[in-house]
Structure 1
Amino acid sequence: MIKNEKIKAAEVDVTGVNGEALGVMPTSEALKLAKELGVDLVCTSLYSSPPPCTLISSGKAKEAKQQEKKAARPAKVKEIRLTANIEEHDYETKKNQAQRILEGGDSVQFVVKVSGKEGAKAKELLEELLRDLKGTGQKKTGIQVSGKQAAVQVDPA
């Protein structure tokens, strides 16, 4: 992101603070206008002539760049393992851990270890987790009970 005095072009196509087109003007004039308004002149592309520039506040420019980076990174799937006979405190800990992961933008794969006839209990536990995490995530897959485990994947909302 090139901004203010680092823009070397003689003329720039300027877009105002509220998105209005101000037209093509000399770079020095655009910089003067940016200083008057207390904002930065940010060049959005160097591949056209004259380069398009926008008047935006410094904080918004940084925020837009961070949002762009966050959107570009692929979401990861983090696995959280549980047992069907879980204590209330441990359940809360795992639920809070899952909330932090989902709020960070990653997916969560819950895996409940099943032994014997605990399949129904494991499915019940996963349904309870899905209800508790309804605000921060939504299930991607249905609850899959197979052999020695039950699993469900939750994506961020």
Structure 2
Amino acid sequence: MARDLRINNGIRAREVRLIGANGEQLGIVPTSRALELAREAELDLVEVAPTADPPVCKLLDFGKFKYEQAKRDSEAKRHQKNVELREVRMKTKIGQHDIDFKTRTARKLLLGGDKVKLSVMFRGREITHPEIGRGLLERIIGSLGEIATVERAPMLEGRFMSMIVAPSKSLKAANERPQAEGDGESSGVDEAVANG
């Protein structure tokens, strides 16, 4: 954002609404007078609202402003969580232990905050019985219970029947609470992974 701002002689308006270094309103002044005030205070004249009429300019140290802006941007980027779409695949002929294992994997991914695409692959003539795949997906969703919400219902895509599930709202709230407290102790979510 700091790169897009016009400063000092780059400001083309005849007059500007000027804000002082301490945030006080100095009123509407000619641009030449605003530049003089900036030079006297050894600051830069920065156009902070170019679309206003007249444009709003502020007296500030542009180098310091750019540094603080970059610092705020990197801080915001660090707190942003990238949600990934992870896939758990299985075939229609699957044993109970394997279903439990796939369910545990999906649970772990959901607790990690990722969305999960559950896919059932049909081989040969199995495609003529899509109800088997749908039943398998519904069974897994039943096991995931309150930690998952269905984002996309089971749908046939070529030789795969898939559905997308996301972490439930209550799970997201539980994940955000321990981070907000920042006490460093383990949360109930970690215990759920260990027990799950």
TM-score range, shorter-chain basis?
A: 0.5 to 0.7
| Residue identity opposite 1:133 in structure 2 | L
2:94 aligned residue (80, 86, 95): 86
| Residue identity opposite 1:147 in structure 2 | G
Q: Indicate the structure with greater helix content.
A: 2
1:156 aligned residue (167, 173, 187): 167
- Unmatched runs of 5 consecutive residues or more in structure 2: 1-64, 66-74, 169-196
- Retained in 2: the 8 A contact 1:138–1:155? yes
Aligned to 1:140: 151
Report percent identity of matched pairs: 22
Deviation (angstroms), 1:118: 3.2
Aligned to 2:117: 109
- How many corresponding residue pairs? 92
Distance 2:156 2:138 in 1: 12
Aligned to 2:84: 76
Deviation (angstroms), 1:147: 3.3
Q: Indicate the structure with greater strand content.
A: 1
Higher RCO (CA-CA < 8 Å; seq separation 6+): 1
TM-score scaled by length of structure 1: 0.54
- Unmatched runs of 5 consecutive residues or more in structure 1: 1-46, 48-64
Aligned to 1:52: none
Distance 1:149 1:118 in 2: 12
Distance 2:157 2:105 in 1: 25
- Retained in 2: the 8 A contact 1:75–1:105? yes
Aligned to 1:36: none
Distance 2:166 2:135 in 1: 19
Larger Rg: 2
- Runs ≥4 residues deviating over 3 A: none
Distance 1:77 1:109 in 2: 7
